[in-house]
Amino acid sequence: MFTNVSEEALFPTFVWVHDLEPARAEALNARMFRDIDRMTAPRPQLQPGQNWQTEQTLHEHPQFAELVEIIEAAVRGVISRMALEHEAFELTALWANINPPGAPHPPHFHPNNFLSGVYYLQVTEGQDSITFHEPRTQVDIVAPHVQRFSQYTAPHYSMPVKPGRLVIFPAWLTHSVKRNESQRLRISISFNAMFADYVEKLSRPRWQGIPLRAISEDESA
């Protein structure tokens, strides 16, 4: 009946996964676990289901310089793969997330940035995923029953994570973390990245208008 059938993925949403070399990840995670524990002590008491988050300035502390180097290398690779003209960027925030047993992280996104991401220090069974949510708000206008959920029909996708894994995604993409069902702390470090020259170059319109010439005060009177 058909001479050819093809499938094109239009307007996809990408998530970039980077796995650090295991020996390096183990040593790095041990150091950062120790430093986060020392820098946040004493931590406040939490109600059941609550999380700790540090200040968003970890990238300004020398203890996290190696992680900053790793994140910046990964972000440069993502920007290069996207073939963007503007390569200069800055980390605008870097902070630790500490999820005790029983604590979830509700759906959210990171406004006023281009890319966001999470690096994992400690995860165990029952807390080893990050969930991304369907970004198309109008997709359920027609929502037929399905034989099984797939990448075409699932309202969300839970991506597996592990220590040493760095996940980068568009800052606008809504994501969440399921309730920590283990008896260990879930520890990760999140970041935001934005173009350094946003105001100077990116915020201007991408269309051209009628050229203007300078006029004197007499002409404008």
- Within a domain: 215: no
Which CATH number do you get for residue 185?
2.60.120.620
- Decide if 21 is inside a domain: yes
- Does 220 reside within a domain? no
pLDDT by 10s per residue, the chain, length 221: 999 998 888 888 999 999 999 999 999 999 999 999 999 888 888 887 788 899 999 999 999 999 999 999 999 999 999 998 777 899 999 999 998 888 888 999 999 899 999 999 999 887 789 999 999 888 888 888 889 888 778 889 999 999 999 999 999 999 999 988 888 889 999 999 999 878 666 666 666 665 757 757 776 66
- Does 46 map to a domain? yes
CA distances 62 to 14, 59, 68, 69, 103, Å, are 31, 8, 10, 11, 30
Largest CA distance in the chain: 77
Domain count, the chain: 1
Under 8 Å between Cβ of 193 and 113 = yes
